[in-house]
């Protein structure tokens, strides 16, 4: 299985990241504020996507797609028998892997702390008073 390489921050990464500021208990999901995105087609690997689905917080992905104004491209719920639902896997593939967030912020839902994304790299380093 050849798996796609990540080049920039994608929604799959967003789905994993959480705010980790000291004292924050509800840091997930981070609110995505994208000011620059880039879309490109990636080889579709249904096997890999099917394997990823159980690890994805689907509501967070839906939320991020809404923030990008692409709510219509993502089903609200994970399909039953998604392993065999090619249409669903395609949509998941697109949402998870085909949108690079080049610039913007990841905002902690509890504290409002903004983690900047620049050049596709989220900066999740904390200040001294945040650890």
Question: 58-67 and 86-97 are packed helices; what angle lies between their axes, rounded to 10 degrees?
Answer: 60
For the chain, state the CA radius of gyration: 15
Ordered alpha helix ranges (H), 34-99: 46-52, 58-67, 86-97
d(C-alpha 54, C-alpha 63), whole Å? 17
25 part of the interface to other proteins, by CB under 8 A: no
**What is the nearest approach in angstroms of other proteins to the Cβ of residue 77?**
20
Closest CA to 42 of 103, 100, 102, 1: 100
Q: Contact region for other proteins (CB under 8 A) — 51-59, 61-69, 75-83, 87-95?
A: 51-59
Nearer to other proteins, 69 or 127 (CB): 127
Phi (first) and psi of residue 34, to 5 degrees: -105, 130
With CB under 8 A as the contact rule, the residue among 36, 43, 51, 77 that binds other proteins is: 51
Asked if 57 interacts with other proteins (CB under 8 A), we say: yes
Taking CB under 8 A as the criterion, the residue among 36, 47, 66, 87 binding other proteins is 47
| Residues 101, 10 contacting (CB under 8 angstroms) | yes
DSSP category for residue 109: T
Position among 64, 89, 93, 120 found at the interface with other proteins (CB under 8 A):
120
Using the rule CB under 8 A, which residue among 23, 81, 119, 129 binds other proteins? Answer: 119
Which residues form the interface with other proteins (CB under 8 A)? 1-10, 13, 16-20, 28, 47-48, 51-52, 55, 57, 115, 119-126, 128, 131
């Amino acid at each position: 299985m050849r798996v796609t390489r990540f080049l920039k921050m994608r929604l799959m990464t967003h789905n994993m990241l959480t705010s980790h500021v000291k004292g924050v208990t509800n840091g997930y999901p981070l609110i995505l504020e994208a000011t620059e995105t880039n879309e490109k087609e990636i080889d579709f690997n249904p096997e890999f996507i099917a394997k990823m689905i159980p690890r994805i917080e689907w509501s967070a992905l839906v939320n991020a797609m809404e923030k990008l104004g692409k709510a219509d491209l993502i089903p609200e719920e994970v399909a039953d028998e998604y392993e065999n639902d090619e249409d669903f896997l395609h949509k998941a593939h697109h949402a998870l892997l085909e949108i690079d967030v080049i610039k913007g912020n990841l905002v902690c839902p509890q504290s409002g702390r903004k983690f900047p994304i620049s050049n596709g790299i989220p900066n999740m380093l904390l200040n001294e008073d945040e650890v």
